[in-house]
Amino acid sequence: MKKNILITGVMGHVGFSLAFKLAEDNNIIGIYNKTIDKKKFNLLKKRKVKLIKNNLSNIIKIKKIIVQNKIDNCVYCAAISHEIYAKKKPFEAIKSNASNVLNFLELLKLNKKITFIYVSTGSVFQDIKNERKKINENIVPTPKNIYAGTKRLGEILVENYVNYYKIKACVLRISWVYGPQILNDKINVQRGPIPYILSSLFIKKNNSILFDSGGDFKASFTYIDDVILAISFLLNSKKYRNIYYHLGTGVNNSNFDIAKIINKLFSTKKIKFGKNKEPWSNESVTRGPLIGNNLKNEFGYKIRYNIKSGIKEYIKKIIKNA
């Protein structure tokens, strides 16, 4: 039986990818705000996704959308998604990452049959000095910037509404997601190095990329298909045993690792990084990798893509669609 699933932030990477995939077997209602990516818009339309422009700040309008479309599940992917943007627009960050979440939670008090998934971030952990320490769901978050703070506030709201009002909701923390449809012509620190590198090598067809720095930067990179599958497990669950779920490979990989993988896969391509972590770490704290114990214990879910297999799959899709 098809579900009526509301996804916010469908012009973003996770929101779009999730809507595009779930539309194969469900009725998807996608909400976007100001930004319209024409390619994404048309692809979603072809999948018969119902697209609605809304900034999520009006609870009456949100209620109308939920009631009229008989929503069964909500996945909150809307966000001011990096400190680069959050520090420039702190009020917008608070709205998108927290206060607009509250609108949904208030409405779920009135209809507890609706499932709510808040997509959050590993950036709420900013005080893990040991980069090898795996961050499971029991570790207490330590946000120290506007982005991490507003995402943590959104998490706390979800946690309290689950505890106080017994709504069916959870938080999924993800980390440095890469994969289709993200490709960058220029370095975009928010997206990490992979989309820029693959765009340069396989779209622009350059044979080499030389970076003066950045090789020491490490992150828990997560392939988009793993994110979609994890959310699918959560959507199909009748009851959550936990509030917080982590999605991660449990391993940090450096830009040196990425270069080595691609250089080995394609002998005609050459990537070289210099030392240190800039510019990737200027607005991001290098932390230990996320590891999803709750997803594994509750659903038997295991990450399918490590950094090598994820990059390989990503390149295969780029070449196929080129």
pLDDT of residue 35: 75
pLDDT of residue 1: 78
pLDDT of residue 282: 65
In Å, what is the CA distance from 262 to each residue of 175, 251, 253, 309, 311?
21, 18, 13, 11, 8
- In terms of Cβ atoms closer than 10 Å to its own Cβ (0-12, 13-18, 19+), residue 198 is buried
pLDDT of residue 278: 85
Which segments of the chain have a pLDDT < 70? 282-284, 322
In Å, what is the CA distance from 140 to each residue of 122, 136, 156, 244?
12, 9, 12, 11
Which residue matches tokens 């936990």?
242
Q: Residue 298: which of 220, 227, 246 has the closest Cα?
A: 246
d(CA 111, CA 268): 57
Which residue matches tokens 């290098």?
286
Q: Residue 122: which of 250, 311, 267 has the closest Cα?
A: 250
Residue ranges of domains in the chain, CATH in brackets: 4-178+221-250+288-294 (3.40.50.720)
pLDDT of residue 132: 82
Helix (H, G, I), strand (E, B) or coil at 177: strand
Backbone angles phi, psi at 36, to 5 degrees: -125, 115
CB count in 10 Å sphere of residue 144:
14
pLDDT of residue 322: 61
pLDDT of residue 185: 77
pLDDT of residue 37: 84
pLDDT of residue 154: 98
pLDDT of residue 227: 97
DSSP 254-283: EHHHHHHHHHHH-TT-EEEEESS-TTTTSS
For residue range 216-228, what is the model confidence (pLDDT) as tens digits?
Answer: 999 999 999 999 9
pLDDT of residue 283: 63
Q: Residue 246: which of 288, 217, 214 has the closest Cα?
A: 288
